[in-house]
Structure 1
Amino acid sequence: MVNTSDFIERLEHLLHYYGLSASSFADKINVQRSSISHLLSGRNKPSLDFVLKVVNVFPEVNLYWLLNGKGSFPNDTEKEIPKTTPPPKPKVLPTETAPKVLAKSDKTIEKIIIFYSDGSFEAYNN
């Protein structure tokens, strides 16, 4: 569960870090200005939609740091995500020997994200 008062402190830290007023921050993440005001006053709790908008617009914001204070801000991906070699691409059989399931499928995997218990993550794009 997110501690609202701690979340408010982290949100205020973001505003200060980016040099934004509450209203300009709301405009940047595309939420109503009153939403930020209500969050900062403690009237409302942050919604999942709000949190996702923040981390999508500001990629330096570590999701786990924003939610529960674990991790760091700004997100230093070089330190938090261990560099590993990407997994090998699966072998694709020639069409004549490939199973019919593979030949008929028009879906492909675009992205795989692995979340670790320490708050770090790895993303693999196709």
Structure 2
Amino acid sequence: MDLNDKIKQILVDKSISPSHFADEIGVQRSSVSHILAGRNKPSLDIVQKIIRRYPDLGMEWIMDEEDLPNVEPDRSEVNSGNIRQEAFPRQSSTPLDLPEKKKPEPSTVQRNLGAIQIDQISPQTAQKSIERILVFYSDGTFKQYTPQ
């Protein structure tokens, strides 16, 4: 019996609707609907919520799938700690030597911008005068400056 069938069995045994079941375990109703329709398989989060809400069912019954082969690890490997060493290799105690981050060099455009002369004013700009300056602040206020 797979996990989807076990959820269907829970609904039958507890005499509850799928929407009530979803509300009780704290998941979206569409999630339970998709599981019951066979579109999705229950996630680990949903299984944990079922176990928390219905502890009387037992985690073993929910998690045990008869379709899976009964595979047990070799006892000598478990006792010697080889599994842990392979899964979590020891890291060296010396700190890693990370290369220093280099600052990017300015591009050609940025270098050329620095060389532009600001004091060169075109004839059109020289005939214009400033009427007013507005400064807007982040709090929504502003200040207006007018030349005298």
**Larger relative contact order (Cα-Cα within 8 Å, sequence gap ≥ 6):** 1
Normalized against structure 2, the TM-score is what? Answer: 0.42
Q: TM-score of the superposition, structure 1-length normalised? A: 0.49
